Structure 1
Amino acid sequence: MAESAVSLVVDRLLSLLTQEVKLLEGVRDELVDVKDELEVIRAFLKDADSKAEKEGIGEGVKALVNQIREEAHRIEDVIDDYVLHVATPPDYRRLGIASQIKDIKSSLLKIKNRSQTFNFISSNEGASCSSSSNAGRGLMHHPRLSSLFCEEAELVGIDSRRDELISYLVSGVSQRKVIAVVGVGGVGKTTLAKKVYDNHRVIEHFSYHAWITVSHSYDKTELLRSMLKGFYKAKNEPFPDKIVKMEKDEELIGEIREKLRQERYFVVFDDVWEIGFWGNMELALLDHDNGSRILATTRNEAAARFCKGSSSVHVHRIDPLPQKEAWELFCKKAFRFQSQGQCPKDLEELSHEIVRRCGGLPLAIVAVSGLLAVKEKSVQEWKKVIGGLGGSAMTSDPYINNVTSILSLSYGDLPYHLKSCFLYFGMFPEDFSIKRRRIIQLWVANGLVEEQPGMTLEEVGEEYFIELICRSLVQVDEVGVKGVPKTCRVHDMVLEVILSKSEELSLCHVSSSCLTFEGIARHLSISNRGSNPPKSSTRSQTRSIMVFDKAMLQKATVRVIFAKFKLLTSLDFEDCPIDHLPKELGNLLHLRYLNLRNTDVEELPRSIGKLHNLESLDLRFSLVKELPVEISDFPKLKHLLAHGGYATGLKIKGSFKHLEFLQTLFTIKVEDDVSFLNDGLQVLTKTRKFGICNLKREQGGYLCTVLEKMTSLQSLLVYSVNHQVEILDLESEFSPPIQLQSLWLGGQLDRLPNWISKLHNLSKLILSYSNLMEDSVEVLQALPNLKSLVLFWAYNGERMHFEGGGFQKLKYLYLAGLDYLNEMLIDEGALPLLERLQIGPCPMLEEVPSGLQNLRCLEVLSFAWMTNEFNQRWSQQESQISRHVRIHRSDGTYDPDDKASIRAWEERKFGASKHWFG
């Protein structure tokens, strides 16, 4: 990591020395000397960084590496401070820059002299399976993707445990029962509980169900609110605003009791630590004597038995895996890409020793086998791993120390460019669901991603992300339609290792405030679960701040952020109830990333125009409707995201002439002035994701001209000005971008545009209010890579026929608002991979679709707002057709006189398009 920090600073120095920045007399020469010294020191660092992670190496090596990293950060601060003051003359503090640089130069000379006593040599050791070796491959073509995201059902020995727990849930006494899954950290409690929770028998047995993550430090009010969210989600009902605003526990408890009434419920409390936790929850979860169940996972059996005073309790202890099952799991993971999952003969003895040291803990086995999966299959490499485990792992608690030892070893084995990226996960709270795009953009903004020829920094960052998943250090949380992970998590024990390393390196710190904390860490996370100041500190300035405080931020905290931390490169307020940004925002001249997603901010200060280094601005689901004209002069802006729903966009004043580097522009609002399309968007040739709304019919041709120049475009949304009436005219002689993968068209179509049939890479298609007829289905079913199709009030045909051989890769099909449909046919061989089918409202459809039994991969089947006649026929056929379907839901009955309910359902499903496009 020190080598990464030095490389970053060398690049910054080169940039500064080659730019036309007015340097004070003597400063240029001193900076050249510093650059030269850093380049010499960099030659020592790969070997030093590697040695510093290995057990038995003296503390002197670690201290030396830390000193180098500190000086690298310090010189970066001096450079940025200098640039800051050059930009805001007159400033007499500039005169002290030269003396600071001389001091740093002197420190570097001393470090270089000390480093020579360790006889370091330049080395590439530890960089095996670097994602940089795969440069240019791209995320979508990663050869491991097909095996990476298989569910953890691969964990051996889980089926019998799952079935046993399910029997406790769906049978037995009618009184409320608590099932406690107890075991040490890393033994697989959460994985087992999730398999039970997602099982179709469980889903069908209980009217309401909710999954609640508890962890060490929990907020009772938020847990109660999360429980209610789960109950509403189980019924596909909108979550009322009044509950969002409730702050009193007794109000939330009352809502839960009213919601459940006499209904049978199932609630999972994952990762319970506190003995008195149940006392905080039992008032809400009444015993209706109807077979309701609660499942809790915990490392503390005393916490499980505490429930006995008011409930029947069954303790289900999970022990570490026996040797046979541990070996099976190890081989599946370590050799998943070679040897057909079998251990080569020459590695068997060493592999058995590695498995033995894992103590039967699945987390440890998965971690160490993930490490080995990316290494050369040789005796030498296997011996290095055993040597890294050492003998101290079996002291104190043999299980916990063993896992910690293995996770630390996995961290030490990471290539240099991945270590800082991995530790950045420490900025997020425990059990937090982390968006892939968010973490990658934060890496980029903080200079943690190395440039690779032929790739954007975001593409390189996605390679890093996949590499961490390969090594089982990051767990996939949610997978998108394209088979790519959308969100991820880190296990709480992995997070402990991250936070420990971060504190040692003064890299990341989680705090409850920033009022008194300055110079404590390179990156600062502010959370109501934050800790006291760490023991270690840094001479360098804080460069990134993330805020996770759900309560209204104090204005003093906001003022401090903008007053104290003037060298920030990233600032993230996502989901915080902040409603104002001060004009001092314009003082953060080095800011590259600003995230205001889902905040209450209504207006951006005009001082934002000073942020000429800004690369990413996220305003999605904020209250900002218009950008100041100054935003058009951002020469480095790459990502501008702003929308509050599927047909809403951001009004932008000014020109786009300086925004030629934009990769993401989603979504903007078209004005009456045609020049906005004819000239204003012509520079956007590098755009990959583009959304535009408020389009008039006569503007369609101009838009097509713009789109033809976006040769790298992958995602496109186009909505007409009044999408239920206005024609969306995109039929002119148009050659669509061949790389287009996601497309959403909203508006009246005379017919399906011919160019859609040419989109051979299209995997996701959403059409709204499109007036399609039966011939359109014939075109769509021939698209070779289509995986997701949504028709939302978009089909006017009376008959829909899915022919054999059609939609060969489709996995998700949603048909809503098919007002004239009265017959649906599914041939044998059609939709062979379909996993999820949602239909309705369909006010004219009375017969169950013919051929549903042909959908052999179907897992989820859902009908919404269907007629009484349809529902009656379905009830007669349901037992035969849904035998192999994991989940079946029915949501409401169609009533032509109840327009308000249908409109509310429509808005709930499509109004806030967070899960539909992106």
Structure 2
Amino acid sequence: MAETVVSLVSNHLATLLREEGSLLGGLREEVQFIMDELGQMRAFLKVAEPKEDDEPRLQEWIKQVRGAAYDIEDVLDEFVLRFAGHRHHGFCGSLQRILKAIKSLPARHQVASEIQSIKSRIKNISERCQRYQVEFGIDHRVTGSSTMKGSRLYSRDDALLVEEAKLVGIDQPKQHLISMLLEGHDYQLKVISVVGMAGLGKTTLVKKVHEDPKVRKNFPVRAWVTVSQTCDFPKLLRDLIRKLHKDLDKSVPQSIESMTTAELKEIVKDFLQQAGRYAIVFDDVWDVEFWNKIKFALPEGNYGNRVMLTTRNADVASTSCTESQDYVYRMKPLSNEDSWTLFCNKIFKGNRCPTHLMNVAKAVLDKCDGLPLAILAIGGLLASKDVSRIDEWEMIQHNLGGKLERVKRILSLSYNDLPSHLKPCLLYLSIYPEDHLIACQRLIQLWIAERFVEWREGMSIEDVAWGYLSELISRSLIQVTEVFYEGSPNTCRIHDLMREVILIKSREQNMVTVTTGQPMTWPSEKVRRLAIHSSCNSSIIQYHQQRQFYSFEHLRSFIAVSSTNPLLSKTFLSEVLRSSKLLKVLELRGEEIEETPNEVFDLLHLTFLSLYGTKVARVPRAIGKLQHLEHLNLGNTGVRELPVEILKLQKLRHLTVFQRVDPSDSDYGFHGFKGPSKLGGLLALQTLNTVDASSGSVIVKEIGKLTQLRELYITQLRREDGKELCSSLVNLTSLRELSIESIGKGDDSEIIDLNHHQHSLSSSSSCSFLQSLRMLIMCGRLETMPVWITHLQNLVKILMIWSGLRAEEDPLESFQHLPNLGEITFCGSYQGERLSFKAGGFLKLKQLWLRRMEGLRWMTVEEGACPYLQRLHLRQLPSLEDLPSGIQHLSHLQRLSLYEMSSRLIEKVGNQKEDREDYRRMAHIPEIVIGFYADDGKWRSRRLWGKKK
């Protein structure tokens, strides 16, 4: 699979010629020749690689192409490392350049010699390429492959199409499982196992059952835990504890990190005994002993508790259901009719299959054996084909091989068919462990840092990357697990079978090497990307002893993923960094390190540095040496100040430095960083999170120079700097997220004065930031609501904390007609007695959070207001003694949370009888959760619906 590597290296060479061409001098023509030759090989490789398994000579040739491409990249990166940091100016600079040139002549001769050697290799490889075209009958001019005609942003339609596709044929098994959950007059614990081969849609089916309103109404306590093949049982128990507490908005005991397995089981058992009737899902169980381990943490009680398991192994089901064999549900493949519907939905967007493709389409579908995963994957592949080219469809049909292996063949075909720029993006997912939830934002940032994403005219590199992700999702190679309410993906994952295919392809291409610290077989080729996963018994000492003589001089990326243990020893980390001079990506998120290793500042090629969640508290002045750095993440660290040398990082696009003021109370904001007075010199910045503005108007004024900003988070803003901030905001035409936090805390915070430049900020015709803003956070008192807020046409989410608006400043007036507003949080935001949601207002609102407003006594919801509201959370509203008038109009409401409310309201809600009018007003809500602190100071919660009558 050398085409991907050649593509990446070719792009890297093009960048090098563009940005560092003057350094190359006479070598420029040689590099251009090599790049041109590699470019001509790419089309041939696209067609040749699928044939390599059957042709050993072709396989060896492809390996040589990949090796030569990597070697030229190494030589040129080392050349730049040696010379790029020695640019000098002025008369003295000229003398230094002369001296430097004299001293570097031997080094230049060495580089020239290496490039000539690679050029000779490339010539020989190219000659054999021409010979193989004739010998193997490969015509590289017609590849039969699609290309991405243009990058597109992720849209609601994409998400909905994927979701609808998965739901085909699910209604009947879903209703059957719901009946199995709800039936039975015995109130003993019942276990239901869903068994079936990979790709049948077990997880999708059980997820829909778990989220069904009937199930939610009958089971007040629910949790979903993914088990996976490499199960760390204590980690699983901690995960279960976190999810149970989160579901009831309770704080998680800090001590669970140091507890034994037995202690963790007791925590789970005690929680469930107090919480009431529960339904817990354990997804993807492999080990037959799993049930014997977990069952002692699950109390039976007399509530009719339920556990659901999904597994590929029938023995797992029989072990967990020894006393109730009838509760094993065996998944079946889709019927022919449902298979055809799913197939056409994926390829033709629900339209009919063209007549000329009917026979070949049915032949392809027959080979999918009714497996949804296979149908979606092959559908994603065929959807990219020209419907007028029946030969492309027939080629895919002939390449399909029974059952599980056929699915893998389909997934391999789907990978092989990808455009070259998407292949490395997909293979890169091999850095993540099995069943890992992948944060989409972080993933695309890594793609960009790895240079997988191509620049496109008129588009930001981030938008191009989101387009790549959208394409992989639409082809069903990546599964969306959580979306923002506006439809864009928040987290994603890869199916286990897809991951197996990706791991194989990644090893073939030497893309990523993964270790858990256990003894392993290392690749014979040079390690270029190293991902370290934690495991319950992993020890970096074993790893270090095993590979103590291993060289990492070709390493480009070093990534720690899910390292819950202190996996990286200081000695090992220093050794890797010392030998990895060409490193571009360093991700040490969550590692137990207290200072940035000194070796980091010698990594002059570094573009991505993340120390998120470490104990690092300061940034050395040596940071200025990393002049290629584009992404610096010091989030959730102790860093409070950045040195003036940060201004040397002229390529820096994302700067994140913050820590929550009070981790136990989310209503209080963040510590930011104090930056140098000329921060506006970082002209490439797109993310600035979070800058401390307490030093005065100078830093606020500097923000106005950062015209590329898309995310801006400010803390410690002084009242007198509000005017200067408004002046700066006018310049930020690309801003999408804005957070403003004033000096002070809670009711003692300073006033945020943003009523300036009203014309510039509120004019719908001006090119202001208002056209792009999607999220607005304001933490601090407001005397009046800024007029320009009413013009935020693209605003999706707003949080107002400690605003303290007077009764005449009803915040709803400003927001009710914003066309895209999906989520509102008000905390201490309003001092009035009444909030009224008017008919025709908040047409897209889905989540509403109201808390800490002591004066609020009445809420009314007119018919036609908030028609799609799904979640209403009311907390610490002591004067509110009744539910919102008109709550029956909120027909889509899924959950009503009442936390620390007045005793009168809780009593009124909790003691309703079914024949009362008030009861009927609430009967349509699947979940009503009541939470309060008991007399003993402990948090208690209960659900109104679902408890045993």
1:668-817 to structure 2, matched below 5 A, reads 668-678=691-701, 680-723=702-745, 724-725=747-748, 726-734=750-758, 735-736=760-761, 737=769, 738-772=771-805, 773=807, 775-817=810-852
| Structure-1 residue corresponding to 2:532 | 526
State the 1:818 CA deviation: 2.5
Q: Check if 1:79 corresponds to 2:102.
A: no
1:338-353 to structure 2, matched below 5 A, reads 340-353=350-363
| Structure-1 residue corresponding to 2:606 | 591
| Structure-2 residue corresponding to 1:913 | none
Q: Secondary structure at the match of 1:218?
A: coil
Aligned equivalents of 1:312 and 1:577: distance in 2?
47
Aligned letter for 2:476?
Answer: S
Aligned counterpart in structure 1 of residue 338 of structure 2, from 325, 333, 358: 325
| Structure-1 residue corresponding to 2:636 | 621
Distance change >3 Å, CA 150–CA 319, structure 1 → 2? closer
Distance change >3 Å, CA 296–CA 47, structure 1 → 2? same
Q: Which deviates more, 207-216 or 750-759?
A: 207-216
Aligned equivalents of 1:126 and 1:229: distance in 2?
49
Aligned counterpart in structure 1 of residue 50 of structure 2, from 50, 53, 59: 53
State the 1:149 CA deviation: 5.1
C-alpha contact (below 8 Å) 2:321/2:328 kept by paired residues: no
Aligned counterpart in structure 1 of residue 30 of structure 2, from 33, 40, 46: 33
Aligned equivalents of 1:883 and 1:377: distance in 2?
50
1:28-177 to structure 2, matched below 5 A, reads 28-53=25-50, 58-86=55-83, 87=85, 96-119=110-133, 123=141, 125=143, 128=146, 130=148, 133-135=149-151, 138-139=153-154, 142=155, 144-145=157-158, 147-148=160-161, 150=163, 154-172=166-184, 173-177=186-190
Aligned equivalents of 2:461 and 2:602: distance in 1?
26
| Structure-1 residue corresponding to 2:499 | 495
RMSD of aligned residue pairs (Cα, Å): 3.0
C-alpha contact (below 8 Å) 2:144/2:392 kept by paired residues: no
Q: Which deviates more, 261-270 or 355-364?
A: 261-270
Distance change >3 Å, CA 20–CA 351, structure 1 → 2? closer
Aligned equivalents of 2:424 and 2:121: distance in 1?
24
| % identity of equivalent residues | 36
Q: Check if 1:202 corresponds to 2:215.
A: yes
1:524-673 to structure 2, matched below 5 A, reads 524-529=530-535, 541-548=554-561, 549-553=563-567, 554-645=569-660, 647-654=669-676, 655-673=678-696
C-alpha contact (below 8 Å) 1:649/1:669 kept by paired residues: yes
Aligned equivalents of 1:19 and 1:510: distance in 2?
32
C-alpha contact (below 8 Å) 1:388/1:409 kept by paired residues: no
Distance change >3 Å, CA 447–CA 716, structure 1 → 2? same
1:291-306 to structure 2, matched below 5 A, reads 291-306=304-319
After superposition, give the CA deviation of every residue in 1:642-675 in whole Å (9 maximum; x if it has no partner): 2223621322332324310000101111132332
Aligned letter for 2:595?
Answer: H
C-alpha contact (below 8 Å) 1:594/1:617 kept by paired residues: yes
Q: Secondary structure at the match of 2:614?
A: coil
State the 1:352 CA deviation: 1.5
Figure out how many residues of one structure are paired with residues of the other and give that number.
879
Aligned equivalents of 1:225 and 1:389: distance in 2?
45
State the 1:62 CA deviation: 4.1
C-alpha contact (below 8 Å) 1:74/1:540 kept by paired residues: no
What TM-score do you get using the length of structure 1 for normalisation?
A: 0.90
State the 1:185 CA deviation: 0.6
Aligned equivalents of 1:713 and 1:497: distance in 2?
39
C-alpha contact (below 8 Å) 1:719/1:746 kept by paired residues: yes
Aligned counterpart in structure 2 of residue 230 of structure 1, from 231, 236, 243: 243
Distance change >3 Å, CA 198–CA 15, structure 1 → 2? closer
C-alpha contact (below 8 Å) 2:641/2:674 kept by paired residues: yes
State the 1:314 CA deviation: 2.6
C-alpha contact (below 8 Å) 1:648/1:669 kept by paired residues: no
Distance change >3 Å, CA 618–CA 787, structure 1 → 2? same
Q: Secondary structure at the match of 2:669?
A: coil
Aligned equivalents of 2:826 and 2:164: distance in 1?
29
Q: Which deviates more, 852-861 or 72-81?
A: 852-861
State the 1:824 CA deviation: 1.4
State the 1:794 CA deviation: 0.5
State the 1:874 CA deviation: 2.9
After superposition, give the CA deviation of every residue in 1:85-109 in whole Å (9 maximum; x if it has no partner): 2348888866643332222112111
Aligned letter for 1:884?
Answer: H
Q: Check if 1:258 corresponds to 2:270.
A: yes
State the 1:751 CA deviation: 1.0
Aligned equivalents of 1:327 and 1:878: distance in 2?
48
| Structure-1 residue corresponding to 2:436 | 432
Aligned equivalents of 1:260 and 1:123: distance in 2?
64
C-alpha contact (below 8 Å) 1:524/1:544 kept by paired residues: yes
Aligned counterpart in structure 2 of residue 276 of structure 1, from 289, 297, 318: 289
After superposition, give the CA deviation of every residue in 1:725-745 in whole Å (9 maximum; x if it has no partner): 311001112433122111111
Q: Secondary structure at the match of 2:72?
A: helix
What TM-score do you get using the length of structure 2 for normalisation?
A: 0.87
Aligned equivalents of 2:377 and 2:15: distance in 1?
40
Q: Secondary structure at the match of 1:861?
A: strand
After superposition, give the CA deviation of every residue in 1:39-63 in whole Å (9 maximum; x if it has no partner): 1331231232233136886344444
Q: Secondary structure at the match of 2:739?
A: strand
Distance change >3 Å, CA 385–CA 437, structure 1 → 2? farther
Distance change >3 Å, CA 703–CA 512, structure 1 → 2? same
Aligned letter for 2:190?
Answer: K
Aligned letter for 2:40?
Answer: A
C-alpha contact (below 8 Å) 1:155/1:362 kept by paired residues: no
Aligned letter for 2:261?
Answer: D
Q: Secondary structure at the match of 1:652?
A: coil
Aligned equivalents of 1:804 and 1:821: distance in 2?
20
Q: Which deviates more, 276-285 or 748-757?
A: 276-285
Aligned equivalents of 1:388 and 1:31: distance in 2?
46
State the 1:213 CA deviation: 1.0
Distance change >3 Å, CA 720–CA 83, structure 1 → 2? same
After superposition, give the CA deviation of every residue in 1:710-763 in whole Å (9 maximum; x if it has no partner): 111111000100153311001112433122111111111111101111211212
| Structure-2 residue corresponding to 1:914 | none
Aligned equivalents of 2:338 and 2:392: distance in 1?
21
State the 1:866 CA deviation: 1.8
Distance change >3 Å, CA 302–CA 156, structure 1 → 2? same
C-alpha contact (below 8 Å) 1:215/1:271 kept by paired residues: yes
C-alpha contact (below 8 Å) 1:449/1:457 kept by paired residues: yes
| Structure-2 residue corresponding to 1:891 | 931
| Structure-1 residue corresponding to 2:476 | 472
Q: Secondary structure at the match of 1:236?
A: coil
After superposition, give the CA deviation of every residue in 1:145-200 in whole Å (9 maximum; x if it has no partner): 36345366x42222222222223223323332222111111111111121122223
Aligned equivalents of 2:322 and 2:846: distance in 1?
48
